[in-house]
Amino acid sequence: MNPPLPSPGKMFRRAIVLKCPHCGSRRTFIRLWLLRYDRCRTCGIRWHREHGFELGPIALNTVFTCGTLGIAMIVAFVATAPDFPVVALTLGMVAAALLLPLLAFPFTNTVWMAFDLFSHKPDANELAEAAAAVAD
C-alpha cells in the first residue's frame, strides 16, 4: 500500500519555501537556482514525471510575471499621473520583465510539482522507483 501523500496545503506550503512537496526536505531537485537534479535527493521522487512536464512551470512563471508586471504598471501609472516618466517606467518594466522570471524560476518549479503530485498521485511503481533511486 502506498504511504499517504501530505495534504495539498502542506505540499504547497513546502513548495513555496523551496522544499520538496512530497517529503519536505530542503535537499530537493533545485540546484544552483536555475538548474535541477533529476530527482529529489531525499525521497527520490522524479522531477520529470511525464512527457511535457516542464510546460507547467513555464506557464506558471509566465502568468506570475505578466500578472506582477500588470499590477506594477497600474500602480506606477496611478502613482505618477498625470505626468508619466515614460523612460523610467519603460526601463523599470523591462528590467522587471527580465529579472522576475529568473527570480521566480525555482518557486514555480516546486509549486508546479506540488500541483502535479496533488492532481496525479504517484503510483506504487513510481514510489518504488523513487525508493530504489535513493537507496543507490
pLDDT in tens, 116-128: 999 999 988 998 9
Residue 34 forms part of a structural domain: yes
Residues in the chain: 136
Question: What is the rounded CA–CA span in Å between residue 121 and residue 67?
Answer: 29
Residue 36 forms part of a structural domain: yes
Cis link prior to 82 (omega < 30° from 0)?
Answer: yes
Residue 3 forms part of a structural domain: no
Give yes or no for residue 100 having a pLDDT over 50: yes
pLDDT of residue 2: 58
- Give the residue with greater pLDDT, 87 vs 31: 87
Residue 74 forms part of a structural domain: yes
Give yes or no for residue 114 having a pLDDT over 70: yes
Domain total of the chain: 1
Beta-bridge mates of residue 30: 36
pLDDT of residue 1: 47
Collapse the DSSP code of 121 into the 3-class scheme (helix H, G, I; strand E, B; otherwise coil) and give the result.
coil
Q: What is the average pLDDT across 86-101?
A: 95
Q: Whole domain around residue 79: which residue ranges?
A: 8-135
The string of DSSP letters for 27-96 reads S-SEETTTEE-SB-TTT--BS--STTTTHHHHHHHHHHHHHHHHHHHHHHHHHHTTS--HHHHHHHHHHH
pTM for this predicted structure: 0.87
Question: What is the rounded CA–CA span in Å between residue 43 and residue 113?
Answer: 14
Residue 1 forms part of a structural domain: no
